[in-house]
Amino acid sequence: MAENTFDAIVIGSGMSGGWAAKEFTGKGLKTLVLERGRDVKHLKDYPTTNMMPWEFEHRGQIPVAIKDANPVISRCYAFKEDAMHFFVKDTEHPYLQEKPFDWIRGYQVGGKSLMWARHTQRWSQYDFEAPKRDGYVVDWPIRYNDLSDWYSYVEKFAGISGNKDGLSQLPDGEFLPPHELNCVEEYFKNTITKKYKDRPVITARMAHLTEPQPIHIEQGRAQCQNRVICQRGCPFGGYFSSNASTLPWAAKTGNLTMITNAVVQQILYDEATGKATGVRVVDAITKESTDYLAPVIFVNAGAINTNLILLNSISNRFPNGLGNDNGLLGKYVAFHNYRGRVFGKFNQLTDSNSVGRSPSGAYIPRFRNVFTKEADFLGGYASLFVAQRSLKMNTIGFGNKLKEQLAAKDLKDWAVSAMFMGETIPKASNQITLDKLNKDEWGMPLINFNVGYDDNDEKMLADFFAQMTEMFTTAGFTDIETKDSKQAPGLDIHEMGGVRMGSDPETSLLNKWNQLHQCKNVFVTDGACMTSTATQNPSLTYMALTARAVDYAVEELKNKNI
């Protein structure tokens, strides 16, 4: 058994699992990382990264046979010919949908950190206080001050670009230089900031190395070259991923053991000690079962799969899932509402354009219900604003004339769009359960989603349409159109909750250190831990929570408290 015993076990190697691995190994703990998918090595396993557009057989498009067989993943914006090998296909890992939920997954080393959208904002004091102030879900057991130093800690290592904007509703971080906005994004920023005192528009903050520091060079990463094909994996390590950053760093310590194709079935619990002893793993290929032991276990399987593992960890003491005495495990699942877009055109500033490509854009921090509750809905929304010009491409006619038209450099006027990123309010009825009758080929019960929108989501979306239409009109944009995609929850790829944090074991699963109230050597620091969702892209917060929780766990181990 000795070879199966470690100082720490981390389930999952994605955004937060990578951080847990880096922190544990950095503190000298022999750490086992279990990844249910295949290995993806930085540089080596990015097969499409240097391909030119004409080298893709279907020029990026997904063949109809694949789409028809995999309707859910085919709805994901990034599921294209260049990165489809990083996404789980519906047929490979089925699940049940009592209500439609587009569950987007990446089962490989690095998880979804390979293909994420790379926007990174800190939560503010208002975000942590909102549930208590406005009376929804439960109070967060932590405040911004508990996390601010940890945000700094992870930002410095990951490399985050941005401006110091001095906004209390979106605190500044440890920033590398910001990306440049283009002419119309800059114009929109200036116009809106002047007209609305409470609606700053800023440069989006992103996990890109705009100016690598020694710590990034030491990771083997180089400056972002603005290729903007990040989803293929970056040969420069220009954006943060577990593969480019935390995992190789952890491996360098000599303390990391990574096992791939390792499907965790359950966490093993010992009633005598009241602690978890390890995990039971089934090999994805051989189906062979192995137990691994460690005094501390971090569950970073990705929000939904973290719920699955805990719900499936049944013992005499915990017949309803590990730590689930109050029956709340799998409830209060939430996400971000990404249904809305507002489009427009702008026929001014047409004597200029940008040169090159930018991964960034302008960001409008939440301005509803921030400092006080003033709207007729709970929560708020942020928005991403981008402007661009494309070639006119006159395709009328044929022959030499058409060929000449296709060579013209004439540009259209500006096209602008703003994207809705709405907070959703977690509720008990938004729940995931296990279907014990239906198991997958690794013996895991299938997950059943019962997660949907509510009236609050509709009100908030209507407000976004109204406010953004007004802001676009103010800016002089024309042809303004609002579009509700009506997409199912999930396509935002910000699923959260089910194992929420809170101070009271009666109403929450995790304490302020992301530790299961009732099984203190098990920690959850991925999206499953989120008590509320705010409007920020969540990954940066998972990273900070993870680093903080590992630091605490190691202290507790030393002091023999867990």
Q: Under the rule (CB under 8 A), what is the footprint of another protein?
A: 50, 52-54, 57-59, 61-65, 179-183, 185-186, 225-227, 351-358, 391, 393, 395-400, 402-403, 406-407, 409, 411
Minimum Å distance from CB 493 to another protein? 25
Tokens encoding 238: 């220009």
Our CB check for another protein shows the closer of 44 and 59 to be 59
Residue 410, number of CB atoms within 10 A of its CB: 9
The nearest distance, CB 51 to another protein, in angstroms, is: 9
| Nearest to 205, CA basis, from 144, 162, 169, 260 | 162
Q: CB nearer to another protein: give 62 or 215.
A: 62
Instruction: Tell me the closest approach of the beta carbon of residue 194 to another protein, in angstroms.
Output: 18
Nearer to another protein by C-beta: 91 or 429? 91
Output 61 or 289, the one with its CB closest to another protein: 61
Give the DSSP H or E segment for 375: none
Structure tokens at 494: 């910000």
CB of 185 to another protein, least distance (A): 8
In the complex, the smallest distance separating the C-beta of residue 204 from another protein, rounded to whole angstroms, is 13
Helix axes 15-26, 539-558, angle to 10 degrees: 30
What is the nearest approach in angstroms of another protein to the Cβ of residue 114? 19
Rank residues 273 and 400 by Cβ distance to another protein and give the closer one.
400
Q: How far is CA 474 from CA 188, 193, 346, in A?
A: 9, 11, 12
| Helix H or strand E segment including 449 | strand 445-450
Q: Do the Cβ atoms of 410 and 310 come closer than 8 Å? A: no
Closest separation in Å from C-beta 117 to another protein: 18
User: What's the CA gap between 29 and 172, in Å, rounded?
Assistant: 32
Neighbours of 500 (CB within 10 A): 27
How many residues make up the chain in this entry?
562
- b/e sequence 455-490, b meaning 16+ C-beta within 10 Å: ebbeebbebbbebbbebbeebebeebebeeeeebbb
Least Cβ distance, residue 180 to another protein (angstroms) = 3
The CA distance from 259 to 34, in Å, is 5
Spell out the alpha helix ranges (H) of 214-331. Answer: 214-218, 247-252, 303-311
- The tokens for 521 are 């050597």
Closer Cβ to another protein, 359 or 379, answer by number:
359
Question: Measured on CA atoms in the order 136, 138, 139, 142, is the torsion positive or negative?
Answer: negative
Residue with tokens 């501390």: 296
| Residue 12 · residue 34 · CB < 8 Å | yes
Nearer CB in complex with another protein: 83/444: 83
What end-to-end distance do the CA atoms of the chain give, in Å? Answer: 21
Q: Which of residues 191 and 265 has its CB atom nearest to another protein in the complex?
A: 191
Q: Measure Cα distances from 121 to 207, 343, 451, 546 in Å.
A: 10, 24, 26, 16
Given the complex with another protein, which of 183 and 461 has the nearer CB atom? 183
In the complex, the smallest distance separating the C-beta of residue 388 from another protein, rounded to whole angstroms, is 12
Instruction: Tell the smallest beta-carbon distance from residue 529 to another protein (Å).
Output: 36
Q: Which residue, 50 or 91, has its beta carbon nearer to another protein?
A: 50
- Tokens 């119309």 found at: 184
97 vs 226 by CB, closer to another protein: 226
CB of 398 vs another protein, minimal distance in Å: 5
